Amino acid sequence: MIPPETDWLTDASVQTVCRAIAAEGAPVYMVGGCVRDAVLRLSGSDVDMATPARPQEVTRLAEAAGLKVVPTGIDHGTVTVVVDGTGFEVTTFRKDVQTDGRRAVVAFSEDIAEDARRRDFTLNALYATPQGQIVDPLGGLPDCLARRIRFIENADDRIREDYLRILRFFRFHAWYADAAKDFDADTLHAIASNASGLETLSAERVGQEVRRLLAAPDPVPALATMQQAGVVQRILPGADLRLIGPAVHLEAELGLTPDWLLRLAALGDAEAAGRLRLSRKQAAALEDMQRALGEMMPVREVAYRYGYEMARRILILRAALSGEGCDRDALDPLKDAAAARLPVSAKDFMPGLSGKALGAHLARLEARWIASDFRLTREELMTGT
């Protein structure tokens, strides 16, 4: 049974959707991440549902219960049922008809085992009734309880159906696997044999998986194994793993939430923004980190010019690079510097100065003020003392 404290067991909206779909006898199940996480007593996964009922039937039943239905992926068997502003994806059981390593042609099915075989790992092929009874068509529950990441049936076949599953394997290992367990040698052989297939994937799909991997509490063992299997070289050929371990350790020492963009900067691939199709904001932040790290600008000045978040990242990257530690006492001065404001302004020197002369004078005063560690007062700057 699902642990009784699991949120969706008592969530009124979830149960409303389930009652609507089951009104005429069609079974409905929670599936995937929400079941896996409930078994592991984790929280946070979206609640997804599966049923043998066809999309049109799900739509009819939900609307008959007064619920809004959005045909978000109806061609692939998915509709979203909305209750009190929250949407729940309901997908008809499916089976693969044809795959090409990037996408699949599917057909509807009434067999829960066929639906389960479409999934990637055994711990993701778990279902549960609205009352919390676990349905395990492929025997994945022991793997889930053991925190073992295992491809469904044949690893080589599952990978060739969708090469993104290589990256998903390492991401799931970083998030869910028992850290004491080694990677399975046969699985790594299948991954290494198919690593070239990663080059057929879109940058958006690869980038999404890499971001999720880097956001794990400790992605270092997964990254190291990815490099051994020839995966890192395919997706980030300019990456160097030497700084990622110290950077992750320093984040933990400082009690900080994992920062995937900082960790990406630690990998040092100059082309990462394009390879992973980062947003403009993310690409700019990555460029700022690389530039500030290379210029060796004092970290308090980084905080003043670029803000606390950037300074915190540079502090960690420099400490990782130097092999030196840092503690939480180093963070407060960065917050103070980020909040500092030059105590003089252009109007203090007008109309005597203007244009380039005014700008140059303010730049000199700002440089003096920063060199004083932001201590010089307005009067001292104005009088030159």
Helix 308-322 vs helix 260-267: crossing angle, to nearest 10:
40
Burial class (CB in 10 A: 0-12, 13-18, 19+), 164: buried
What pTM did the predictor assign? 0.89
Span 14-72, pLDDT tens digits: 999 999 999 999 999 999 999 999 999 998 778 999 999 999 999 999 999 999 999 98
Span 131-156, pLDDT tens digits: 999 999 999 999 999 999 999 999 99
Give the whole-angstrom CA distance, residue 279 versus residue 290.
17
> What does the DSSP 8-state code read for residue 135?
E
Percentages (nearest 5) of helix, strand, coil residues in the chain: 55, 10, 35
Span 345-382, pLDDT tens digits: 888 888 888 889 888 989 999 999 999 999 999 988 88
For residue 141, the SS3 value is helix
The answer to whether the beta carbons of residues 162 and 104 sit under 8 Å apart is yes
What's the average model confidence in pLDDT over 315-320?
94
Give the whole-angstrom CA distance, residue 2 versus residue 136.
12
Note the pLDDT of residue 98: 65
Give the whole-angstrom CA distance, residue 48 versus residue 74.
15
β pairing state of 104-108 and 68-73: unpaired
- In the chain, the percentage of residues whose pLDDT exceeds 90 is 78
Give the whole-angstrom CA distance, residue 243 versus residue 315.
13
Q: What is the longest distance spanned by two Cα atoms in the chain?
A: 86
> What does the DSSP 8-state code read for residue 183?
P
Q: Between the CA atoms of 206, 207, 208 and 209, what dihedral angle is there, to the nearest 10 degrees?
A: 50
Locate tokens 């904001």: which residue?
Answer: 281
Span 71-125, pLDDT tens digits: 988 878 999 999 999 999 999 998 877 666 566 667 889 999 999 999 999 999 9
CB count within 10 Å of CB 350 equals 10
For the ranges 93-107, 255-269, 288-302, 343-357, the lowest mean pLDDT is seen at: 93-107
Note the pLDDT of residue 291: 85
Domains of the chain: 1-146 (3.30.460.10), 152-235 (1.10.3090.10), 237-340 (no CATH), 344-383 (no CATH)
> What does the DSSP 8-state code read for residue 121?
B
Note the pLDDT of residue 156: 95
What's the average model confidence in pLDDT over 192-216?
96
Structure token digits, residue 174? 């970083």
Cα–Cα separations (whole angstroms), residue 332 to 145, 157, 303, 340:
42, 52, 11, 13
What's the average model confidence in pLDDT over 239-264?
95
* pLDDT at residue 323 greater than cutoff 90: no
Output phi, psi for 90, to 5 deg: -120, 120
